[in-house]
Chain A
Amino acid sequence: MTFAIRPLLQDYRQLFRDGLWDNNVVTGQLLALCPLLAVTGTATNGLGLGLATTFVLVASGLLVSLFRGIITPEVRIPVFILLIASLVTLVDLVMNAYLYAMHQALGLFIPLIVTNCAILGRAEAFASRQPVHRAVADGLAMGLGFTLILVVLGAVREIPGQGTLFADARLLLGEGFAWMELTLIPDYRGLLLMILPPGAFLALGFILAGKRVLDARRSARTAPQGATAATP
């Protein structure tokens, strides 16, 4: 049995490309918007929820893919939910024990990872039909892509909203990361709109529009002749 490393790496590259950009959970599939809009008041909160979700995505991909031979199609959805819920409970308890302040900040949205449609979506659409290594790689890629958007959206809201970046990062990552907490605008009174829910919708709208502009520019560059590219 030959073990070809090059096609495997290319395969992984494609998976990560999909997860981080082309088929990103948020900007590509428009899934998981509820926790996204709710917790991104600061970049740190986004990072916390993103990492928790990434862990659940990787572990659920692993388990679903492992058991895909013995889960019958009729009961697959309840079984997937059961697996995901067990993992989320694990994350919830661990965060409650070791990252208590972060757990308080994210509140209900940690247990609600169970209902994050991106996770069930990946289990159903990908992990239940793929070998273990691809399912894990896809979970990691999708989770990192989700985290990326969470952190970007958190930063876009936090900087105009309260003039800081990664406020309270030490609550999530420990005292060693106190250097991440930046105060960009000292003595700033804040733009309340960006911290409140409407700010999340506005910022997400601009991020989606921004991705479409970049994609349109890229496709116009790769295919300058022939079909007319949509103007951004």
Chain B
Amino acid sequence: MTTPTPVSGPHTHAPGGIATDMTWVALALLPATAFGIYLFGWPALNLLLVTVTSALAFEAVCLKLARRPLRPALSDGSALVTGLLLALTLPPWSPWWIGVLGAGFALVVGKHVFGGLGQNLFNPAMLARVALLISFPLEMTTWVIPQPLFTPGAPGFLEGVAITFAGAPVPDALTGATVLGQAQTGLSQDLGLSRSLEGVYDPLHQALGWIPASLGEGSALLLLAGGMVLLARRIIPWEIPLALLGTLALLATAFMLVDPECHAGPGLHLSSGGVLLAAFFIATDPVTSPATRAGRLLFGAGCGLLVFVIRTWGGYPEGIAFAILLMNAMTPLIDHYLRPRTFGRTRRGRPLEPTQTAPDGAGRRP
């Protein structure tokens, strides 16, 4: 046995914490959120407020039940971001109880049952979205065509309140299928993609978000910009979005080249169904994603592969929520096999000689 030589520890201090990160995430989501509210009008704003408020309320109730202090957990913004992310993935004209039930499921079953922030196995917002989609298939697939605020066709404030809180029916004329839904319906009727997407898929509208979609999933450009801010601030790791989007784009391109009439191209796949929102803001949740670079690459690639598989051969036209939940479930396994290097040891677990420069890559950041 060698005598241990004292080596100074890592004393670098990173300022900031959960609250700072969560604030940045919320800020990065702000452009896409604001644009979503502009596109879908007052009902969308009502839904957003209901969801975020009830997320905070459920967080407070759970903390109270667990006899934990309210202030630190409520002010760190994690419940707020969960509520915000959930609201952004809901159909914008959903009734209020969708938001309340979803926030309750996310916070109670998705987070506090496991022991609160940092203990949960699954991303709470995605868990709630899937629970809502399975429980209320009708409400969760009623997509409205964009009705921007202050345009003639848009509902006024009172009409918005009626749509969100009083269950005023959404006129059929205002609803439409999502691009992915349209593609799947078309394929099931043996129409080619070029015919079933005629007049529905327009790359420019798709990039701007001028499409029937969830509250915040639409605008590809604004989501991309928000994601870039988080990447630049190093709040999210680059591996997960890169691997997710790269895998999905690669698969989409390969299948499109084989048969363009049956498989949509990478542009459609990446810009629709909330893939960008999920890749930058949801799959990167530090609690439910792996800890190492290799693990994150694997995690992101797995999400991309599953999205493609679910969209192409599955029953649901959109699959990102399921994909993320399935890969969340794999995270403990990935972390078991791909572990970060222990400080002061080589990757194989042998102690480092204090003076020796590390042989196999030790000394790099894990």
Chain B residues whose C-beta falls within 8 Å of the C-beta of A192 in the assembled complex: 134-137
Chain A residues whose C-beta falls within 8 Å of the C-beta of B136 in the assembled complex: 191-192
Chain A residues whose C-beta falls within 8 Å of the C-beta of B131 in the assembled complex: 193, 198
Interface of A is mostly: helix
User: Could you tell me the distance in whole angstroms from the C-beta of B131 to the nearest C-beta in chain A?
Assistant: 5
Chain B residues whose C-beta falls within 8 Å of the C-beta of A225 in the assembled complex: none
User: Could you tell me the distance in whole angstroms from the C-beta of B127 to the nearest C-beta in chain A?
Assistant: 10
CA distance A196 to B134 in the complex (A): 9
Which of A194, A196, A205, A231 is close to B113, meaning CB atoms less than 8 Å apart?
A: A205
- Looking at chain A, what size class is its interface with the partner chain? under 10
User: Could you tell me the distance in whole angstroms from the C-beta of A6 to the nearest C-beta in chain B?
Assistant: 44
Q: Tell me, yes or no, whether B109 is within 8 Å of chain A by CB.
A: yes
Interface string of B123-151 (1 = CB under 8 A from A): 00000000100111100000000000000
Q: Tell me, yes or no, whether B234 is within 8 Å of chain A by CB.
A: no
Chain B residues whose C-beta falls within 8 Å of the C-beta of A191 in the assembled complex: 135-136
Q: Tell me, yes or no, whether B67 is within 8 Å of chain A by CB.
A: yes
* Closest A residue by C-beta to B135: A193
Chain A residues whose C-beta falls within 8 Å of the C-beta of B113 in the assembled complex: 205
Chain A residues whose C-beta falls within 8 Å of the C-beta of B134 in the assembled complex: 192-193, 196, 198
User: Could you tell me the distance in whole angstroms from the C-beta of A230 to the nearest C-beta in chain B?
Assistant: 13
Q: Tell me, yes or no, whether A202 is within 8 Å of chain B by CB.
A: yes
CA distance A231 to B67 in the complex (A): 10
Chain B residues whose C-beta falls within 8 Å of the C-beta of A198 in the assembled complex: 131, 134
Chain B residues whose C-beta falls within 8 Å of the C-beta of A205 in the assembled complex: 113
User: Could you tell me the distance in whole angstroms from the C-beta of B336 to the nearest C-beta in chain A?
Assistant: 23
CA distance A194 to B135 in the complex (A): 8
User: Could you tell me the distance in whole angstroms from the C-beta of B322 to the nearest C-beta in chain A?
Assistant: 13
CA distance A192 to B109 in the complex (A): 17
User: Could you tell me the distance in whole angstroms from the C-beta of A214 to the nearest C-beta in chain B?
Assistant: 15
Q: Which 3 A-B pairs have the closest CB atoms?
A: A193-B135, A192-B135, A191-B135
Show 11 A/B contacts (Cβ-Cβ < 8 Å), sorted by A.
Answer: A191-B136, A192-B134, A192-B135, A192-B136, A192-B137, A193-B135, A194-B135, A196-B134, A198-B134, A205-B113, A231-B67
4 additional A-B pairs beyond A193-B135, A202-B109, beta carbons within 8 Å, are A191-B135, A192-B135, A192-B137, A194-B135
